[in-house]
């Protein structure tokens, strides 16, 4: 009904400091009352110029920076950077088997804690604070395990070029197995608390539907892509490290509580990926061989001239490292293409005609992390 | 109660004990502003979690600078964000404190050489306590809160600041 | 199909000037002349057998070593007005992948730094929108076909493009002084130039 | 119409389920480690108090850095290893001594397994804890493991300057410099003596030739 | 109360006034302290539900935490944003306060312990809580902030559209007890659980559920706390408030919780009735009454820390499509039920006992579910056997 009344759009500033934008992202919303007419994300509030710093830091000196690129799953970004450098130096086959298995165990543990934060933050945005705190409690156990392995809680700097810095302490394997048995039951319990809750399902289902074609066009990756029904996982389709001799399957969205590719599908893909990660770690704990944990690498690393683009599956999709080396001790160009960057680029398209409360749900379901976005 | 803040000259027994009582109340309900930019934000959430419970000290997270009286700068402050930090600080109601958490807020940390990162948040807002660590442990954050509480308990509220 | 067959296909079906770069490390790439990038890209996307339906990554960097400059091989430099540093270039990379055929290709091109202009591929892949905005923001390459080309990472009123080799970081921004303090200077080692 | 009642039924059953879980959490042991009272740096107290469900700080926790100057050979490898230049070392010549730790056994270079030789002494060893990112690269690079991460994490300061760890006090620096000048004086004297001896021989040879 | 004063020799008029003043001061202080204590109770319970300890540093086990919060809030600088409409900005919190503290007049504290037992008690109760809408709208509009404007709009829409189901569902107890006065309603219920108004008939149970959900929405408690939704609207209508004015909003929100508990127990759960023998002890009846209020408040807090939040359109559809028809059915059903069984009180008491048994059955199933989740959480992690490190 075209009303004669001339109405104007309210421009709201969902500012850099907002409880539900994870980190510092600002949305300039043109809203008609509660319904968003146009949403323009303004990113870059955490742009720390990592790629410019990379040009003046040595190859092995850059590893601590990869922790800060994606601090929720620091171990996975360590892994993808170190494997990219190893591919550039052509030494993938020299990494000892035990180091490969330790790398997989530790990064899958980190994937569980990253998905825990992603799911917990999505629940917190919907107003349920308790599941988030339950996930924090379980995450504390994972922090203990990883701290036991490498000495730091969040920024590990544990995986280095050629393997891992030090071997796992003897009690690590039995404690991880014990933790997994406990965590498997508690995750089901938290899901009963929130993921299958009717109010929660109503808030997440049929919101911001991303059809498969649009997901590919915007190059969504990881759980966001699999939420739209496309079965693609770098660990399965382009296996690296020891993933080829581990069997696990890839959960994809199937329109459980609404249409295919809505927020609830992306959310449930993460919930099921936790179960897959538990399966992977259990297999690794059984198959881990004894032996060296670090290949012999010269102290000053000088990769041969050339460039490489290497992808690994981090919790937020396949993080790709583009390295261009001129044979010097520091990279000429280093570009990190992360999952949140493309996840964020789709928001202006799917946030049209949606409630403000739903924009919060979209951010939660796309699992955006500010530093990965701005680097 | 802006009218009574730092107004009285003399240091007699009534004012000092009144100050002590009031400071005890202020120290034990330090509501912190939900302002986490980077990795220290995750440790801030972890401190709010069950293990190192921040709520034990009476400090609850607040989404709005108006009702918060402690700004926990957790994470890297880029130049684009620096103006917002200044605006947020000015929006907070008067007796306000700042804890600079982590190396990035202390001195720009490992991004000090970057073109877009502010070398330490003390260039934009006055900082009360610098907490080293990258990111600091939850218990380190609790020790910073306890130090801040000690500092607040010694402050003059009704008497004039020396 | 591997990158050599793709290179042959491009050579036959499009009249773009391409050359094969394989001496540079593990992943060979196809160099395309800067003005025929769009035609090659449309071919790669539309062609049934190739069907590159996703642009994984688009980056670039400022190349100063004269041994690596390609632009002048295809365009005669003389008719250009002689800018002083036109012998420097910005090299651009595109990484394409296809979910159906499951193969990938790296396309490479370069533009002189004086006339840094490259036609945009947003019409083919929507993910190029933000990737090109970032290359514009950090390297200063303008994309004429782009819907709204503005800075993505840095504030709108920031001068200069940081990822260029000759970039000097500003010491203050909007009145906030960001010059290194005496403390930071005391920690800088003698030899290393910052 | 069915969906209408299905909605109501689902609403109540799932809410009922959720409430039973949050009610149950009230009766399970709390996981809060009361920080100021409980000493978290020792693994034993935490393991015993929380029956193994929580772990204290491991031995290899990367806390504030500490340098044992008796082991430091002033080789500045840690200064080069640090990606962000948090460590500054000035050193001057000193007399050659073999390093030996507390109980007299010689300290070996971890990588080359040779005995660590101290030819220079440190006059300034500053670590900028306000900038350090606790990545442990210096600790891994140091040949005699003089620089280590301790379990210490409580170091709140009121200003940025106080966060600089200075390991060489002024008087140690003064004695080192005095010793260095003495060594130079001896070396100069020796060189002068050698030069004079060489002159005499030359003069003797010239004498012999005539 | 005024009889004792006359005996001291004051003339009746001043005695009446002084007694009114004394009573109102006592009840005001009681409301403020209970409002404050509830903030502490909520933080402790929410801590226990999240397997962590709530505030336990101020006073024994954190007992004086609310005093610290109150004193700090009073001492904060209260800012008025320069673009704000100053008069409205200052008045708004007091509208909310009056809206909630106005209910003290008819607020029963036990059998016979009531400030003024108006014969239109319940009607007065419902109408005065409507003042809160004014306060919230004024706060939202006057603080010149887009977020609070949205918060204000949402609050107005929510409270207005939930007033109707709450009003309708209260008709059933009025039908059963026949009077509007709070004392009368309480008198019509016995002290045994199946004599409570809730279990009188299936339609009474339905009306209790609708009343409880509706009054949750009116008190802005989760899952309906949209007006001050932390994660969406920053903090809704009280975004720009700080210092003492924020303390007034803060207090009125928790006092509203206490009022909600009081209304539910006195109307539905037979507040303050005692078995025949102990009829005389008013203190005991007040204690029983407060115990029931505590249980209701615990359930409200428990709901807040378990359920997520509705979206604004789901909120509206819940009220208009689900609660309102339910309230009509309950009202008509109860009238028909009374018509049929008015001559056979035995059938009425049988049905009441039946309803109570249904409630007990639900409670037992709930206990089993709780036991299962306790055992799940109790499985030890890293049991000492694996602690060899």
Q: What is the largest CA-CA distance in chain C?
A: 62
- Find the length of chain C: 194
User: DSSP secondary structure string, A126-176?
Assistant: TT-HHHHHHHHHHHHHHHHHHHHHHS-SS----EETTEESSPPPTHHHHHH
Tell me which residue in A33, A174, A199 faces E308 most closely, judged by beta carbons. A199
Instruction: Find how far residue A371's CA is from the centre of its chain.
Output: 12
Measured distance CA(E24)–CA(A301) in Å, rounded: 81
Please tell me whether residues E118 and E224 are part of one structural domain.
Answer: yes
Q: Which domains does chain D have, with CATH numbers?
A: 65-172 (3.30.70.3270)
State whether B137 and D156 contact (CB < 8 Å): no
Q: Are residues E142 and E82 in the same domain?
A: yes
Between vectors from CA A265 to CA A264 and to CA A270, what angle results, nearest 5°?
Answer: 100
Instruction: Pick the residue from chain A with its C-alpha nearest to B113.
Output: A53
Per-residue pLDDT at A256: 84
Test mutation, C45, C54, C189, chain A, max A CBs within 10 A: C54
| pLDDT at residue A276 in the model | 94
E17 and E103, same domain (yes or no) = no
Decide if B22 contacts E75 (C-beta within 8 A): yes
Distance CA E255, CA E250 (A): 9
The sign of the dihedral angle between the CA atoms of E167, E169, E173, E178 is positive
Please name the residues in contact with E50: beta carbons below 8 A apart, sequence gap of 6 or more: A129, A130, A133, A134, A137, B50, D25, E305
Residue E365 lies inside a defined structural domain of this protein: no
| Domain end call among E21, E52, E71 | E71
State the pairing for strand pair A317-325/A333-337: antiparallel
Residues of the domain holding E173? 76-358
CB contacts, 8 Å: A139 with chain B: 46, 49
Specify if E313 maps to a domain: yes
Residue E356 makes CB contacts below 8 A (sequence gap 6+) with: E193, E194, E199
Contacts with D140 from chain A: Cβ below 8 Å:
165
Cβ D17–A193 below 8 Å, yes or no?
yes
Token output for A145? 């395990």
Gap between the Cα atoms of D21 and C139, Å rounded? 54
The answer as to whether E315 is a domain residue is yes
- On the question of pLDDT at C78 being above 90, the answer is no
Residue E156 CA to residue E139 CA, distance in Å, equals 11
Distance from CA of D126 to the nearest CA of A (A): 20
Distance from B78 to chain C by nearest Cα, in Å? 10
- DSSP letters, D41-87, are T-HHHHHHHTTTSS----TT---SEEE-TTT-----HHHHH-TT--E
At residue E389 the predicted structure's pLDDT band, cuts being 50, 70 and 90, is very low
User: In Å, how far is A5's CA from the nearest CA of chain D?
Assistant: 36
- Lookup: tokens for A132: 């988030």
**ipTM for the assembly:** 0.90
CA distance B105 to chain D (A): 9
| C chain contacts of residue A303, beta-carbon cutoff 8 Å | 25
**Chains E and C: 3 or more CB pairs within 8 Å of each other:** no
Residues E145 and E264 in one domain: yes
D18 with A60: Cβ contact below 8 A: no
Are B132 and D30 a contacting pair at CB < 8 A? Answer: no
Q: Are residues E251 and E163 in the same domain?
A: yes
Q: How far apart are CA E53 and CA E45, in angstroms?
A: 9
**Closest-approach residue (CA) in chain D for E50:** D25
Phi, psi of B71 (to 5 degrees): -105, 115
Distance from CA of D91 to the nearest CA of C (A): 13
For the cut 60, the answer to whether the pLDDT of residue A1 exceeds it is: no
If interface means Cβ-Cβ distance under 8 Å, which residues of chain D face chain E?
A: 4, 8, 15-32, 34, 43, 47, 51-53, 55
Within this chain, do residues E106 and E51 fall inside the same structural domain, yes or no? no
CB contact under 8 A, E312 and A355: yes
Is the model more confident about E3 or about A260? A260
Question: Do E136 and E31 fall into the same domain?
Answer: no
Quote the mean pLDDT of chain E: 86
The full length of chain A comes to: 375
Query: Are residues E153 and E287 located together in one domain of the fold?
Result: yes
Among the partner-chain residues B108, B110, B139, the one whose CB lies closest to the CB of D153 is: B139
Average pLDDT over residues E217-225: 81
CA distances from B116 to A300, B81, D56 (A): 29, 10, 38
> Mind telling me how many Å the CA of A150 is from chain D's nearest CA?
7
Number of helices (H) and strands (E) in chain C: give both, helices first: 5, 7
List all chains that touch chain D, counting a touch as 3 or more CB pairs closer than 8 Å: A, B, C, E
The sheet with strand D164-166 has its strands ordered as D87-98, D117-128, D164-166
Chain E: closest CA distance from residue B111 (Å): 30
Band of pLDDT at residue E384, cut at 50, 70 and 90: very low
* Chain A residue closest in CA terms to C139: A52
B99-106 mean pLDDT: 92
Is residue E383 included in any domain, yes or no?
Answer: no
User: Among E71, E86, E107, where does a domain finish?
Assistant: E71
Query: What's the number of domains chain E is made of?
Result: 2
Residues of D in contact with E321 (CB under 8 A): 4
Q: Could you tell me which residues come within 8 angstroms of residue E125 by beta carbon, excluding any fewer than 6 positions away?
A: E103, E106, E182, E263
Q: Look up residue E320 and give its DSSP letter.
A: I
DSSP E105-137: TT---SSS--S---TTHHHHHHHHTTHHHHHHH
Give the chains touching A; criterion: ≥3 Cβ pairs < 8 Å.
B, C, D, E
E55 interface with A at CB cutoff 8 Å: no
- B140–D83 C-beta distance less than 8 A: no
SS3 call for C20: strand
Q: Are residues E25 and E65 in the same domain?
A: yes
**In degrees rounded to 5, what are phi and psi of residue D138?**
-65, -40
Q: Are E296 and E261 in contact (CB under 8 A)?
A: yes
Cβ separation A360–E232 shorter than 8 A: yes
Of the listed ranges A39-53, A274-288, D169-183, the least confidently predicted one is: D169-183
Considering the domain architecture, whether residues E18 and E115 belong to the same structural domain is answered as no
Partnered with residue A333 across adjacent β-strands are: A324
pLDDT for the residue numbered A247 = 92
**Considering only CB atoms, which chain C residues are within 8 Å of A345?**
126-127, 129-130
Residues listed for chain B: 162
CA E293 vs. chain centroid, Å, equals: 9
Decide if B134 and D132 are in contact by the 8 Å CB cutoff.
Answer: yes
Contacts of E371 (CB under 8 A, 6+ apart): D24
Is residue E333 in some structural domain? Answer: yes
The residue written with tokens 């009829």 in the block is E279
3-state SS assignment for residue A354: strand
Chain D closest CA to A81's CA: distance in Å? 16
Question: Which of A62-71, A144-153, C37-46, C72-81 shows the lowest mean pLDDT across its residues?
Answer: C72-81
* Interatomic CA distance for residues E190 and E207, integer angstroms: 19
Residues of D in contact with A150 (CB under 8 A): 60
* D59 vs B79, more confident: B79
In this predicted model, what pLDDT tens digit does every residue of A78-98 receive, in sequence order? 999 999 999 988 888 889 999
Name the one residue in this structure whose structure tokens are 């789901």.
Answer: E314
> Among the three residues E15, E44, E71, which one is the final residue of a domain in this structure?
E71
Interface of B with E (CB under 8 A): 1-2, 5, 22, 24-26, 28-29, 49-51, 53, 55-58, 60, 62-64, 66-67, 69, 93-95, 157
Cα(B107)–Cα(D179) distance, integer angstroms: 37
Whether residues E205 and E56 fall in one domain: no
Contacts of residue E289, Cβ cutoff 8 Å, sequence gap at least 6: E108, E109, E110, E111, E265, E266, E271, E272
- Do the Cβ atoms of A128 and E383 come within 8 Å? no
DSSP lists the bridge partners of residue C31 as C19, C108
User: Do B108 and D131 count as a contact with CB atoms less than 8 A apart?
Assistant: yes
Name the residue facing A64 among B110, B115, B137 (closest C-beta).
B110
Q: Over E331-380, what HEC string results?
A: HHHHHHHHHHHCCCHHHHHHHHHHHHHHHHHHHHHHHHHHHHHHHHHHCC
Q: Which residue in chain B is spatially nearest to C179 when comparing CA positions? A: B119
Residue B100: which residues within 8 A CB-CB, separation 6 or more? B73, B106, B120, B121, B122, B127, B129, B130, B131
Nearest CB partner across the interface for C183, out of D79, D85, D161: D161
CA dist A142 and A152 (Å) reads 12
CB < 8 Å to D128, chain C: 183, 187
Summarised one tens digit per residue, pLDDT across range B130-162 is 999 989 999 999 999 999 999 999 888 887 777
Question: Residue E338 is encoded by which pair of tokens?
Answer: 């009374």
Q: Residue E372 falls within a domain, yes or no?
A: no
Of B106, B140, B142, the CB nearest to D130: B106
The verdict on residue E385 lying in a domain is no
Is E179 contained in some domain? yes
Instruction: Test C127 with A345 for CB contact under 8 angstroms.
Output: yes
Whether the CB of E308 is below 8 Å from some CB of chain A: the reply is yes
Alpha helices by DSSP H, listed for chain D, are 2-25, 43-49, 77-81, 137-141, 170-209
Residues of chain E in contact with residue A365, where contact means CB-CB under 8 angstroms, are: none
Touch between chain B and chain E: 3 or more Cβ pairs under 8 Å: yes
Contact D24 E374 (CB under 8 A): yes
* Phi, psi of B154, rounded to the nearest 5 degrees: -90, -5
Interchain pair E306, A169: CB under 8 A: no
Identify the bridge partners of residue A40 per DSSP, sorted by sequence position. A28
Quote the mean pLDDT of chain A: 89
Measured between alpha carbons, how far apart are the two ends of chain D, in Å? 132
Per-residue pLDDT 10s for chain D (210 aa) are 788 888 899 889 999 999 999 999 888 878 888 888 877 776 666 666 666 567 778 888 898 898 888 888 888 899 988 998 899 998 888 878 887 777 778 888 888 888 888 888 888 899 999 999 999 999 999 988 889 998 888 888 898 888 898 888 888 888 888 888 888 888 888 888 888 888 888 888 887 776
Q: What are the residues whose beta carbons fall under 8 Å from the beta carbon of D122, sequence distance 6 or more?
A: D69, D72, D74, D89, D90, D91, D167, D168, D176
Give residue C76's pLDDT.
61
Task: Give the whole-angstrom CA distance, residue A171 versus residue E86.
Answer: 65
pLDDT digits (tens, 9 = 90+) for C47-60: 888 888 899 999 99
Nearest to E97 by CA among E300, E250, E258: E250
Cβ-Cβ pairs closer than 8 A, A with B, add up to: 101
Q: pLDDT at position C129, please?
A: 92
Lowest mean per-residue pLDDT among A13-22, A175-184, B102-111, D22-31 = A13-22
Query: What tokens appear for B86 in the block?
Result: 């200044």
Residues 6+ apart with CB under 8 A from D38: D45, D46, D49
Please check the confidence at residue E330 and state whether its pLDDT lies above 60.
Answer: yes
Residue C194 has pLDDT above 50, yes or no: no
Inter-chain CB pairs, A–D, below 8 Å: 75
Q: For B33, name the nearest residue in chain E, comparing CA atoms only.
A: E234
Chains that touch B (3 or more CB pairs under 8 A): A, C, D, E
Cα C162 from Cα C119, distance rounded (Å): 22
Average pLDDT, integer, range C89-93: 90
Q: Which residues of C touch D (CB under 8 A)?
A: 183-184, 186-189, 192
Residues E220 and E282 in one domain: yes
């Amino acid at each position: 009904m075209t009303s004669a009344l001339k109405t104007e759009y309210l421009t709201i500033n969902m500012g850099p400091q907002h409880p539900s934008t994870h980190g510092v992202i600002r949305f300039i919303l043109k809203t008609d009352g509660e319904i968003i007419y146009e949403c323009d994300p303004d990113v870059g509030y955490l742009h720390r110029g990592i790629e410019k710093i990379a040009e003046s830091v040595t190859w092995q000196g850059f590893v601590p920076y990869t922790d800060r690129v994606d601090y929720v799953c620091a171990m996975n970004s360590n892994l993808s950077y170190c494997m990219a450098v190893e591919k550039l130096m052509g030494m993938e086959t020299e990494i000892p088997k035990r180091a490969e298995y330790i790398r997989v165990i530790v990064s899958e543990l980190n994937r569980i804690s990253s998905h825990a934060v992603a799911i917990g933050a999505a629940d917190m945005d919907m107003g349920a604070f308790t599941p988030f705190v339950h996930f924090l409690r379980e995450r504390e156990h994972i922090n203990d395990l990883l701290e036991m392995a490498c000495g730091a809680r969040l920024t590990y700097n544990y995986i280095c070029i050629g393997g891992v810095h030090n071997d796992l302490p003897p009690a690590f394997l039995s404690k991880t197995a014990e933790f997994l048995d406990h965590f498997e039951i508690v995750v089901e319990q938290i899901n009963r608390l929130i993921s299958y809750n009717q109010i929660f399902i109503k808030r997440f289902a049929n919101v911001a539907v991303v059809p498969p074609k649009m997901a590919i066009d915007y190059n969504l990756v990881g759980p966001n892509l699999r939420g739209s029904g496309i079965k693609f996982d770098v660990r399965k389709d382009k296996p690296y490290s020891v993933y080829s001799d581990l069997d696990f399957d890839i959960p994809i969205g199937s329109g459980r509580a609404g249409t295919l590719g809505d927020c609830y599908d992306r959310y449930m893909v993460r919930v099921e990926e936790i179960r897959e990660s538990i399966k992977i770690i259990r297999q690794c704990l059984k198959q881990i061989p004894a032996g060296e944990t670090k290949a012999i690498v010269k102290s000053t690393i000088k990769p041969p001239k050339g460039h490489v683009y290497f992808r690994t599956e981090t919790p937020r999709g396949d993080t790709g490292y583009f390295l261009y080396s001129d044979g010097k001790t520091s990279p000429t160009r280093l570009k990190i293409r992360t999952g949140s960057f493309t996840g964020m680029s789709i928001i202006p398209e799917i946030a049209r005609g949606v409630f403000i409360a739903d924009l919060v749900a979209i951010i939660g379901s796309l699992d955006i992390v500010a530093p990965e976005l701005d680097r | 109660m802006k009218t009574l803040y730092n107004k009285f000259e003399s240091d007699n027994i009534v004012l000092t004990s009144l100050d002590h009582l009031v400071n005890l109340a202020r120290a034990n309900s330090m509501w912190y502003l939900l302002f986490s930019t980077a990795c220290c934000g995750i440790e801030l959430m972890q401190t709010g979690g069950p293990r190192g419970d921040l709520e034990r000290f009476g400090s609850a997270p607040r989404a709005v600078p108006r009702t918060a009286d402690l700004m926990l700068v957790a994470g890297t402050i880029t130049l684009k964000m620096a103006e917002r930090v200044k605006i947020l600080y000015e929006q907070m109601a008067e007796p306000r404190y700042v804890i600079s958490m982590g190396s990035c807020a202390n001195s720009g940390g490992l991004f000090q050489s970057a073109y877009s990162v502010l070398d330490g948040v003390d260039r934009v807002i006055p900082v009360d306590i610098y907490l080293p660590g990258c990111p600091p442990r939850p218990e380190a954050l609790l020790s910073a809160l306890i130090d801040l509480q000690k500092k607040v308990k010694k402050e003059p509220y009704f008497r004039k600041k020396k | 199909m591997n990158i050599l067959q793709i290179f042959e296909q491009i050579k036959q079906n499009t009249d773009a000037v391409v050359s094969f770069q394989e001496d540079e490390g593990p992943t060979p790439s196809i160099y395309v002349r800067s003005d025929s990038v769009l035609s090659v890209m449309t071919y790669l996307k539309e062609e049934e057998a190739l069907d590159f339906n996703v642009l994984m990554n688009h980056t670039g960097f400022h190349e100063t070593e004269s041994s690596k400059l390609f632009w002048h091989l295809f365009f005669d430099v003389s008719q250009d007005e002689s800018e002083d540093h036109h012998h420097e270039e910005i090299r651009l990379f595109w990484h394409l992948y296809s979910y159906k055929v499951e193969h990938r290709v790296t396309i490479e091109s370069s533009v002189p730094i004086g006339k840094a202009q490259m036609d945009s591929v947003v019409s083919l892949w929507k993910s190029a929108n933000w990737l090109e905005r970032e290359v514009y923001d950090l390297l200063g390459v303008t994309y004429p076909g782009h819907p709204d080309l503005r800075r993505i990472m840095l504030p709108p009123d920031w001068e200069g493009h940081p990822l260029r080799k000759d970039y000097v970081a500003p010491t203050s921004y909007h009145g906030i002084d960001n010059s290194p303090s005496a403390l930071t200077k005391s920690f800088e080692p003698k030899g290393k130039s910052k | 119409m069915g969906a209408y009642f299905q909605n109501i039924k689902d609403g109540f059953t799932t809410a009922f389920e959720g409430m039973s879980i949050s009610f149950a959490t009230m009766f399970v042991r709390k996981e809060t480690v009361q920080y100021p009272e409980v000493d978290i740096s020792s693994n034993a107290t935490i393991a015993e108090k929380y029956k193994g469900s929580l772990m204290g700080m491991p031995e290899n926790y990367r806390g504030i850095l500490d340098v044992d100057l008796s082991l430091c050979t002033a080789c500045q490898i840690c200064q080069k290893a640090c990606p962000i230049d948090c460590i500054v070392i000035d050193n001057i010549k000193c007399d050659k001594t073999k390093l030996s730790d507390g109980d007299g056994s010689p300290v070996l270079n971890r990588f080359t397994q040779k005995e660590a030789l101290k030819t220079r002494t440190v006059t300034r060893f500053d670590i900028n804890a306000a900038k350090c990112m606790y990545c442990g690269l210096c600790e891994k690079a140091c040949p005699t493991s003089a620089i280590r991460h301790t379990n210490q994490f409580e170091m709140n300061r009121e200003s940025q300057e106080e966060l600089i760890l200075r390991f060489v006090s002024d008087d140690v620096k003064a004695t080192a410099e005095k010793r260095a000048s003495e060594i130079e004086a001896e070396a100069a004297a020796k060189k002068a003596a050698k030069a004079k001896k060489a002159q005499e021989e030359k003069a003797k040879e010239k004498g012999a030739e005539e | 109360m005024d009889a004792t004063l006359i005996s001291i020799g004051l003339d009746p008029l001043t005695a009446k006034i002084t007694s009114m003043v004394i009573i109102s001061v006592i009840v005001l202080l009681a409301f403020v302290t209970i409002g404050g204590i509830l903030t502490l109770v909520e933080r402790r319970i929410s801590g226990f539900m999240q397997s962590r300890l709530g505030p336990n540093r101020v006073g024994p086990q954190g007992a004086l935490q609310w005093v610290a919060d109150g004193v700090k809030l009073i001492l904060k600088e209260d800012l008025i944003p320069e673009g704000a409409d100053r008069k409205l900005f200052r008045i708004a919190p007091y509208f909310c306060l009056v809206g909630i503290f106005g209910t003290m007049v008819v607020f029963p504290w036990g059998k016979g312990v009531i400030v003024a037992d108006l014969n239109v008690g319940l009607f007065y109760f419902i109408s005065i809580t409507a003042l809160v809408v004014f306060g919230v709208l004024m706060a939202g509009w006057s603080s010149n902030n887009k977020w609070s404007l949205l918060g204000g709009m949402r609050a107005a829409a929510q409270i207005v559209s939930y007033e109707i189901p709450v009003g309708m569902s209260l008709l059933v107890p009025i039908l059963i007890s026949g009077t509007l006065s709070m004392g009368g309603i309480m008198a019509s219920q016995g002290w045994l659980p199946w004599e409570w108004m809730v279990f009188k008939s299936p339609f009474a149970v339905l009306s209790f559920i609708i009343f409880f959900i509706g009054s949750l929405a009116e008190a802005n408690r989760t899952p309906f706390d949209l007006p001050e939704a932390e994660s969406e609207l920053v903090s809704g209508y009280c975004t720009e408030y700080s210092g003492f004015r924020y303390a007034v909003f803060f207090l009125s929100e928790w006092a509203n919780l206490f009022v909600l508990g009081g209304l539910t127990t006195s109307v539905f759960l037979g507040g303050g009735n005692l078995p025949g023998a102990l009829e005389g002890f008013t203190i005991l009846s007040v204690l029983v009454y407060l115990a029931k209020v505590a249980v209701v408040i615990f359930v409200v807090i428990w709901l807040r820390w378990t359920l997520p939040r509705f979206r604004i359109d789901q909120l509206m559809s819940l009220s208009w499509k689900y609660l309102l028809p339910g309230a009509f059915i309950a009202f008509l059903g109860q009238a028909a039920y009374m018509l049929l069984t008015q001559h056979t009180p035995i059938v009425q008491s049988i049905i009441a006992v039946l309803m109570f048994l249904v409630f007990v059955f639900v409670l037992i199933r709930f206990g089993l579910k709780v036991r299962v989740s306790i055992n799940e959480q109790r499985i030890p992690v890293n049991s000492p056997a694996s602690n060899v490190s």
